[in-house]
Chains A and B, each alone.
Chain A
Amino acid sequence: DAKTTQPPSMDCAEGRAANLPCNHSTISGNEYVYWYRQIHSQGPQYIIHGLKNNETNEMASLIITEDRKSSTLILPHATLRDTAVYYCIAETSGSRLTFGEGTQLTVNP
């Protein structure tokens, strides 16, 4: 699995967009980029994943650079309930996730 690098923490104002970056410069062609989040003392929650194209769902948007060496998760209108640790994972099948340290996103009122 490709190693991913994320900032340890970020802050965002409630109602504003939260843009969480992830570097995966060694990602291989068949590795997807997955994003999960973990709210304190709960199990992780799937957010979104993508291979090459940008993806959007009801929770977030995923922007992957053309060279696939980095990506950005966008929460368009962050709420207090979005405060969590966000994990970016590069994996071929999603069946063996290797969680790094993630980014602690704090949404402030």
Chain B
Amino acid sequence: GAVVSQHPSWVICKSGTSVKIECRSLDFQATTMFWYRQFPKQSLMLMATSNEGSKATYEQGVEKDKFLINHASLTLSTLTVTSAHPEDSSFYICSATSLRLAKNIQYFGAGTRLSVL
């Protein structure tokens, strides 16, 4: 149980285009979803926290107009990287928590590797 699916796993796009990444909780309803970014040989950095039906809370230094987060249902959150540039190339990972499951544990997706040419 507690499976989080992330799609796509790998995406290559041209500079200036937008890319949407989906994060789904497959067998539970996610109270909260999180988006992280990880550059090569670095640790994960939290980008934003989102609760279903409300606006995401972005971490300091993360541009909310560039990284659009939509959490329309209890099982789906999307991250859209708008007008992507090569410096946005990174590993993007989502996670989800549920108060009905083991408390305070985050379940992570497999990640999406974004390469912007």
Contact = CB atoms under 8 A, between A and B. Distances in A.
Contact of B105 (A49, A87, A99, A100): A49
Given A41-B113, A49-B105, 19 more contacts: A34-B104, A36-B106, A38-B44, A41-B91, A41-B111, A43-B4, A43-B6, A43-B93, A43-B94, A43-B95, A43-B109, A45-B108, A49-B104, A97-B46, A97-B106, A98-B46, A99-B36, A99-B45, A102-B43
Interface of chain A, main secondary structure:
loop
Contacts, number: 56
Given A42-B110, A43-B111, A99 B44 contact: yes
A44 B97 contact: no
A99 B43 contact: yes
B100 interface: no
Interface residues of A, number: 22
Interface of A: 32, 34, 36, 38, 41-46, 49, 87, 93-102
29 contacts: A32-B104, A43-B6, A43-B93, A43-B95, A43-B109, A43-B110, A44-B44, A44-B93, A45-B108, A46-B105, A46-B108, A49-B105, A87-B43, A93-B104, A94-B97, A94-B105, A94-B106, A95-B49, A95-B97, A95-B104, A95-B106, A96-B46, A96-B49, A97-B44, A98-B46, A99-B36, A99-B44, A100-B43, A101-B43
A87 B44 CA distance: 10
